[in-house]
Every structure is written in structure tokens, then in C-alpha cells.
Amino acid sequence: MTKEQSQLALDPTIPVLGPCKNISSLPYTVWADGQQFPLIVDQEIYAQAKSPVTLSFEAAGPRKHLYFDPIRTKCAIVTCGGLCPGLNDVIRAIVMEAYHAYGMAGVLGIPYGLEGFIPRYGHRYIELTPDVVKQSHLFGGTMLGSSRGPQDPTEIVDTLERSNVNMLFIIGGDGTMRAGQAIYGEVTRRNLKIAIIGIPKTIDNDINFIPQSFGFETAVAKASEAIECAHIEATGTPYGIGLVKLMGRESGFIAAQACLAMKEVNFVLIPEAPFQLEGPGGLMPAVEERLRARRHCVIVTAEGAGQHLLAKSEEKDKSGNIILGNVSDLLKKAIKEHFKDSDISPSVKYIDPSYIIRSVPATPNDKVYCGFLGQYALHAAMAGRTGMVIGKLQSRFVHLPMELVTRERRHLDIHSDLWRAVLESTGQGRLKGMQAE
């Protein structure tokens, strides 16, 4: 470990199942064997990097020397957590690469997330072949289904053993990657030769060390459409307020990016910037000022914004996340209260496009990204890599230790150029809480 790696408590070494004794039959002249990419790690990628440092990561890509013999190798794919654009594209890429590039023995689809491994649920495997997946990329969602909540890693590994699975591709968010790490730990404890490869998925874009997750670009595009609708509704009535709630439990990336795409937004609320409703620098006086000046207003809020103004809950969802208070109800109530004795009467038009956004097919750029992720994941597993995820850093696809991406969630840095651009676009920089002291 280098001095820089030690300072960040970061070891980018990727575990390998054993010596790679098989020669790949892929028709390439350039291989990723032994390649390392030196990349700059800063706070945008990893919050603990107080100043930029250069670290080397193992390159993703096909290896000439393989651990597994393809014709005797079977893999499994599972999708977990909430829906996200691009899931079917990743599944399709893995299946097509497995059959057409490597000629593998078979690919199993695990139905309904981690539940699919547990016998008592009674879910049947899906045999994934090129014919089965050939048109899956045309549709949103996941052809395998999904579920939330933890399952016992010992039962999961029992099922992998019984099914003679040699490699598992686990596609999901922060909680899913932690589950993948637990599965990898159990596989290692039993000294099994099963590769565990994660493909990070979060529509909120909040996975550590993943600057942009697949589906995020699609989510921003669909969120922008909702904002445009809210703007049209707001301008169609005297003192109209278009209120849009977007995904983002702990991070405001979608709200911020969609705001920059649609310049009609006047206020963007995110979890990282705790606003206040009334008083000097309060949101409601600023909304009133905007309405009196322009007779309409557009507010975009991430779902996790404003939690400091709402009653705390100890109740958790199936994924173990604290159930959030409803920020849109908070804002609608605050608007009603602020203007109750006013000479103007705002008309609030509320839009929550969350489930529409999650369920749509991926945009072309996201489809390309998903294809790379699926192919690189299979290349890594064939070369015996395990306990890792595929990530894209500064235009390079690399192997990242699974332990690294699960350390913490990414948050939007309110010192960043991105947030400064939002403040300039909306003009909300004078609101209290919008800028770090």
C-alpha cells in the first residue's frame, strides 16, 4: 500500500480466486492483464479525501489469462432494491457476452431479488439465453423482478452451492452492495471458488466512489420533463406555484442536475442544504417576493430535503432506511399558512413523477454505459476477480473493492461547482442554509 493509499485507509487491491491457467479464446490483441490506471481521487469521489491524491486502480477489461474454463462455467444474475432505468440493459449485456463471447455453460436469472435464493419463497429460476433477453433493453424495469430487505447470506451461499453457480452478478444500491459484501464474506469463509461481482445501481447517484451511476442520466431527463410540466401549470394561473418532488433520500444530485437542465426552476431544496421556512433568509418570504415580481414560481425538492423541519420517525422500511417525513406536505402547508392573510392567493400544482422516472427505459447514453458495465463485469469474473464492483472514474472503467463503495453514501458537496451553478441558475443563494459557512 502506498503512502497516499494509507492516508485514505484505502487499499484498491482486488481479491483473486486463484491462478489464471486458462487462455482466453477472445480475438483481441490488447488485454487488460496487469494494467493499472492512476486516477485523481478528490472529495467529489471520496469524502475522506481532504485534498486530491493520485491512486492506481486495476483496469477493467478482458484478460488473456482466465481463472474459469468458460464451457464449464455457470453464472447467476440478481437485481435488488428499487427499479432504475437500465437494469434490463445490464442483464442483457451479461447474457450476450456470456454466450456469444465466452460460450459459457449457462446463465441463471434469480427472480425477485435476494428472496429468489431462499427456498421458502418458492421462486423459480429463469434460464437466461440470448433469445430470452434479446428485446429486454426496449423495456424499463427488470425482467427478473426485485425485492427489498436483507436475506441470510448463509442461505444464499447454500443455494449458490446447490445450483453449481460459479459467479454471481449482484446489481443494486448501497444496501445491496453491503449484502454482496456479506455474501462474499461467507463464500470466502467456506473457501468456495465463487466470484462475487457487484454492479452499482442507484437512481439517487449516492454510491461512494461512483461519480455517476447508470440510470442517472435517464432520471434527470425524465425529471426535466416533469419540471417543464410544472412550469407550464404555474404560468397558467395567477400566482401559480409548480411544486415537483424528485428522488433523493440523502443526496440532491437529481434535483440539482434537473434544475440546471431546466432553467425555469426558482428554488431547489436538497438534503445537504437545510433551509428555513420563515424569517430573514426564509423560503416563504422569497417565494412571496418571486410571486409578486413574476406571478409564478417553480420549486423542486428532493424527497429527503427538509427533514430537520419534520417530526423524526424511528420506523424503518424493508431496506432498513428510516421512513422520511413528507417534504411536499410540509411545503404545501407552509405556503397555505404564509399566504392565509395575504392579498394574493397562490395555486399550488404538485407533481411527483418518481415511479414514472424509475420505470422508463434507459436513454441511449445510459444504454451504452450499461453495456460496458455488463461486459466488464463478466470479464472480471472470468479472470477470477471477486469481492469487487465495476466503476467508471474519469472516463476509465476500473475494478473497485466492494468494501470501498459501502463505506458511506455520497452527498452533494455544497462547496462544489455543481451547487454553485444551481445557486446562480435559481438566484436562491441568499436563502439561509444554501451555502456552507
Give yes or no: 204 in active site. Answer: yes
User: How much is the average pLDDT of 119-135?
Assistant: 97
The reported pLDDT for the residue numbered 107 is 98
Q: Which CATH class is domain 3-213+362-405?
A: alpha beta
Enumerate the domain spans of the chain: 3-213+362-405, 216-357+415-426
The reported pLDDT for the residue numbered 321 is 74
DSSP assignment of 211-230 equals SS-TTHHHHHHHHHHHHHHH
Q: Which of 170, 174, 80 is nearest to 411 (CA)?
A: 174
Distance in angstroms (rounded) separating the CA atoms of residues 109 and 146: 11
User: How much is the average pLDDT of 153-158?
Assistant: 98
Asked whether the predicted pLDDT for residue 74 surpasses 80, the reply is yes
Asked whether the predicted pLDDT for residue 379 surpasses 70, the reply is yes
Tell me if residue 90 falls in helix, strand or coil: helix
Looking at every residue in the chain, the average pLDDT score rounds to: 94
Per residue in 83-110, pLDDT (tens digit) is 999 999 999 999 999 999 999 999 999 9
Which segment, 312-316, 363-367, 404-408, 412-416, is predicted with the most confidence on average? 363-367
Place of cell 454466450: 99
| Radius of gyration (C-alpha) of the chain in whole angstroms | 23
Distance in angstroms (rounded) separating the CA atoms of residues 21 and 324: 51
Architecture of the domain delimited by 216-357+415-426: 3-Layer(aba) Sandwich (3.40)
The reported pLDDT for the residue numbered 322 is 77
Catalytic residue among 89, 204, 206, 366: 204
Distance in angstroms (rounded) separating the CA atoms of residues 254 and 190: 41
Confidence of residue 53 (pLDDT cuts 50, 70, 90): confident
Query: At a CB cut-off of 8 Å and minimum separation 6, what does 183 contact?
Result: 153, 156, 157, 168, 170, 196
Confidence of residue 147 (pLDDT cuts 50, 70, 90): very high
Distance in angstroms (rounded) separating the CA atoms of residues 312 and 323: 9
Query: At a CB cut-off of 8 Å and minimum separation 6, what does 88 contact?
Result: 133, 136, 137, 139, 140, 141, 142, 143, 361
Asked whether the predicted pLDDT for residue 10 surpasses 90, the reply is no
Long-range (24+ apart) CB contacts under 8 A made by 334-342 are: 334/277, 334/278, 334/283, 334/284, 335/241, 335/284, 335/287, 338/277, 338/278, 338/284, 338/287, 338/288, 339/288, 342/288
Other residues' Cβ atoms within 10 Å of the Cβ of residue 298? 28
The reported pLDDT for the residue numbered 257 is 97
The reported pLDDT for the residue numbered 112 is 97
Distance in angstroms (rounded) separating the CA atoms of residues 208 and 409: 5
Do the strands 388-393 and 396-401 form a parallel or antiparallel pair, or are they unpaired?
A: antiparallel
Q: What percent of the chain has pLDDT over 90?
A: 85
Q: E strands along 116-221, which residues?
A: 126-127, 167-172, 195-200
Identical topology for domains 3-213+362-405 and 216-357+415-426? yes
